[in-house]
């Protein structure tokens, strides 16, 4: 088996699939562009959903990439050997092109050939879908593994909970998968030991999903016109297995980070369980924070949505760093090591290095200022307790006055054998804030893009709004993010102050003028250079491959975008701004509705 480095594994993977006719596409942003249901890109397939549902991709039908992903639903597990909030996913896609035969043959070749990973054949096991009332048993994949010479006893038929992927939300592309496992030297845990148990004998390294269906709102699986392949190999986990390390933190991706933490704190990683856990939490959380702030759709700490998750990651890292005795400002010094390690692969981090460190220092400072006071408050509240529970009002007070995310209050409580009335906290929080972070948390566990007509129209409205803002406020205005639900759009953009009433009225008027003009919406594919030459706006960096889609709406808007859109601007009927507010430093947020709506809501 090849002992490899992270850089080598990324390159090998892309090179292998390039040799098999795949175009390498850059990682998309960590912030989904047009998906109201999730806060972060959680899997390699996520930015490709429109193409998995049938839109043609500008660079072709065979794609491969390394996608940045963030999953925070298991944040409390971070600290053990394998959980991470940020990871990279190696993937290859067939958009209605090849299917099971090629996908399985290539997976086998990449895993076992000495030219590639060279894993001994008898150290690999596989699982395939056993079938249920909705979809048949996947005998085809079973046979394809057998054809590669895999003995039947190393191919396991497993149920939906193990061998089905997607949709990540309620609707979207999905299908059976076949998973690949390294067999460790752990003895089987019993006669039924299989990749489905978590005893540690089988470690999953790759998943080939055969996306044959689109799950629609009533739960029916509708066969896709052309079935796709979506595969995902977690870089950190695979690297850990290939190099025989006990945890992902011992791979070359983390060693320099842990060394820096040791240097800053004088503590030794691995000296005891608690120290090890704190090192891992700091390393993981700072790494994720660096990627979020340094993303082309950069996130900054705030009290809602992605900004709230970022705040929580930084504050948790600060707390665990302080436990280790780290000096003030340590987070930014750890960020330096992370940026240096990754900027070759993700140049956006190098470019944003100063901004990343500044944001980390600011948030650390904000938190340090309130932490001691808040901890004293917490201790007072804890000492007043008659039962073992911190009530919701106290938890909310700690949040509101001392900036304690509920998770930190809960963690402090746990450390003292207490619990927190989180439901009570959330009730007060929701009453106090228009958008509670509880809602945000549900969303980031949730699903994928809603490709309805209304979403497409709202998406079109963001382009018109973007263009109007630039006309009224100047061309320095740039989109920083957007979020669309079935009812409204939200648009974040760079601008240093509150907009005046007149400016808002003018922006609204311009958008309505564009709607009334009923411009046809034209989509053309071209290279990034051509798009730039034509004066298209949009995120040019590390989002798409060489060829991009440019949407033009009359003479009003020309923007690089993945779509989908309305076909004429008149479909939007009318446009109304409901609110303009600060989103984070230097970023404003507009919330708006359109007249065309399935439920009659809107302007
Ligand atoms: N979508 C699958 C996963 O995330 C394969 O890429 O595991």
Residues 93 and 234 in one domain: yes
Query: According to the model, what pLDDT value does residue 590 have?
Result: 95
Residues 89 and 203 in one domain: yes
Helix ranges (H only) for 294-384 are: 305-323, 330-342, 347-351, 353-384
Residue 601 lies in a domain: no
Residues 141 and 199 in one domain: yes
Query: According to the model, what pLDDT value does residue 432 have?
Result: 67
CA of 221 from ligand 1 middle (Å) equals: 19
CA of 43 from ligand 1 middle (Å) equals: 6
Q: Closest Cα to atom 6, ligand 1: which residue?
A: 232
CA 75/CA 434 separation, integer angstroms: 25
Query: According to the model, what pLDDT value does residue 126 have?
Result: 98
CA of 574 from ligand 1 middle (Å) equals: 39
Domain boundary among 397, 416, 444: 444
Residues 298 and 321 in one domain: yes
Helix ranges (H only) for 85-203 are: 100-112, 139-147, 160-163
The answer, yes or no, to whether any atom of ligand 1 lies below 6 A from the CB of 44, is yes
Residues 435 and 491 in one domain: no
Query: According to the model, what pLDDT value does residue 445 have?
Result: 35
Q: Which residues are within 8 A (CB) of 190 and not within 5 positions of it... i.e. 6 or more apart?
A: none
Query: According to the model, what pLDDT value does residue 595 have?
Result: 83
pTM given for the model: 0.71
Query: According to the model, what pLDDT value does residue 168 have?
Result: 63
Q: Closest Cα to atom 5, ligand 1: which residue?
A: 232
Query: According to the model, what pLDDT value does residue 159 have?
Result: 96
The answer, yes or no, to whether any atom of ligand 1 lies below 6 A from the CB of 232, is yes
- For a pocket test of ligand 1, which of 165, 166, 181, 228 has the largest count of ligand atoms closer than 8 A to its C-beta? 165
Q: In the 3-class helix/strand/coil scheme, how is 262-274 assigned residue by residue?
A: HHHHCCCCCCCHH
The answer, yes or no, to whether any atom of ligand 1 lies below 6 A from the CB of 208, is no
Query: According to the model, what pLDDT value does residue 599 have?
Result: 36
For the chain, give the number of residues: 603
Residue 218 lies in a domain: yes
* β-strand partners of 202: 183
Residues 383 and 365 in one domain: yes
Residues 127 and 222 in one domain: yes
Residues 505 and 568 in one domain: yes
Residues 180 and 131 in one domain: yes
Domain count, the chain: 3
DSSP structure string for 462-483: HHHHHHHHHHHH-TT--EEEEE
Query: According to the model, what pLDDT value does residue 433 have?
Result: 57
Q: Closest Cα to atom 3, ligand 1: which residue?
A: 232
- For a pocket test of ligand 1, which of 45, 166, 176 has the largest count of ligand atoms closer than 8 A to its C-beta? 45
Q: Which residues are within 8 A (CB) of 14 and not within 5 positions of it... i.e. 6 or more apart?
A: 24, 64, 65, 66, 90
Q: Which domain holds residue 572?
A: 453-594
Query: According to the model, what pLDDT value does residue 552 have?
Result: 92
The answer, yes or no, to whether any atom of ligand 1 lies below 6 A from the CB of 93, is no
Query: Which residues of the chain carry a pLDDT beneath 50?
Result: 434-451, 541-544, 598-603
CA of 230 from ligand 1 middle (Å) equals: 7
Query: According to the model, what pLDDT value does residue 573 have?
Result: 85
CA 192/CA 187 separation, integer angstroms: 12
Residues 196 and 123 in one domain: yes
The answer, yes or no, to whether any atom of ligand 1 lies below 6 A from the CB of 165, is yes
């Amino acid at each position: 088996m090849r002992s490899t480095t992270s850089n080598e594994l990324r390159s090998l993977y892309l090179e292998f699939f390039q040799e098999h006719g795949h175009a390498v596409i850059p990682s998309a942003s960590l912030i989904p562009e047009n998906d109201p249901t999730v806060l972060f890109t959680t899997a390699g397939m996520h930015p490709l959903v429109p193409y998995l549902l049938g839109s043609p991709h500008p660079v072709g039908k065979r794609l491969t990439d390394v996608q940045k992903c963030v999953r925070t639903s298991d944040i409390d597990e971070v600290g053990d050997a394998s959980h991470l909030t940020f990871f990279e996913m190696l993937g290859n896609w067939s958009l209605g092109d090849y299917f099971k035969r090629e996908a399985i043959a290539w997976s086998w070749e990449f895993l076992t050939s000495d030219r590639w990973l060279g894993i001994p054949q008898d150290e690999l096991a596989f699982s395939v879908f056993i079938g249920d009332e909705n979809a048949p048993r996947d005998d085809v994949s079973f046979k394809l593994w057998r054809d590669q010479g895999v003995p039947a006893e190393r191919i396991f038929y497993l149920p939906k909970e193990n061998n089905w992927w997607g949709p990540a939300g309620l609707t979207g592309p999905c299908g059976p998968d076949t998973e690949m496992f390294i067999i460790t030297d752990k003895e089987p845990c019993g006669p039924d030991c299989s990749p489905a148990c978590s005893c540690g004998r089988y470690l999953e390294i790759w998943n080939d999903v055969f996306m044959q269906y689109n799950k629609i709102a009533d739960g029916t699986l509708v066969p896709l016109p052309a079935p796709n392949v979506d595969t995902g190999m977690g870089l950190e986990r695979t690297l850990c297995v290939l190099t025989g390390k006990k945890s992902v933190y011992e791979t070359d991706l983390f060693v320099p980070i842990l060394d820096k933490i040791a240097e800053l704190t004088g503590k030794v990683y691995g000296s005891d369980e608690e120290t090890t856990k704190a090192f891992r939490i700091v390393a993981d959380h700072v790494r994720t924070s660096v990627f979020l702030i340094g993303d082309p759709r950069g996130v900054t700490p705030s009290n809602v949505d992605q900004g709230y998750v970022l705040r929580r990651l930084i504050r948790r890292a600060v707390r665990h760093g302080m436990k280790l005795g780290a000096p003030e400002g340590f987070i930014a010094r750890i960020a330096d090591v992370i940026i240096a390690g990754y900027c070759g692969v993700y140049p956006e981090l190098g470019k944003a290095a100063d901004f990343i460190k500044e944001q980390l220092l600011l948030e650390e400072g904000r938190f340090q200022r309130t932490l001691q006071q808040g901890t004293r408050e917490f201790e007072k509240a804890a000492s007043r307790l008659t039962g073992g529970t911190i009530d919701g009002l106290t938890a909310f007070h700690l949040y509101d006055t001392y900036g304690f995310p509920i998770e930190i209050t809960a963690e402090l409580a746990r450390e003292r054998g207490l619990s927190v009335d989180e439901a009570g906290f959330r009730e007060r929080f929701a009453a106090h804030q228009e958008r509670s972070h509880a809602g945000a948390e549900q969303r980031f566990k949730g699903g994928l893009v809603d490709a309805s007509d209304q979403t497409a129209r709202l998406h079109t409205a963001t382009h018109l709004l973007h263009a109007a803002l630039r006309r009224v406020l100047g061309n320095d205005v740039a989109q920083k993010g957007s979020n669309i639900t079935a009812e409204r759009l939200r648009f974040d953009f760079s601008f240093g102050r509150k907009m005046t009433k007149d400016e808002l009225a003018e922006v609204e008027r311009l958008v309505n003028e564009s709607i009334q003009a009923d411009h046809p919406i034209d989509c053309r594919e071209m290279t990034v250079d051509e798009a730039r030459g034509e004066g298209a706006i949009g995120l040019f960096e590390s989002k798409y491959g060489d060829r991009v889609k440019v949407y033009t709406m009359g003479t009003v808007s020309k923007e690089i975008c993945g779509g989908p859109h309305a076909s004429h601007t008149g479909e939007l009927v009318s446009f109304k701004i409901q609110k303009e507010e600060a989103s984070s430093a230097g970023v404003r947020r507009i919330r708006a509705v359109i007249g065309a709506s399935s439920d009659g809501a809107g302007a």
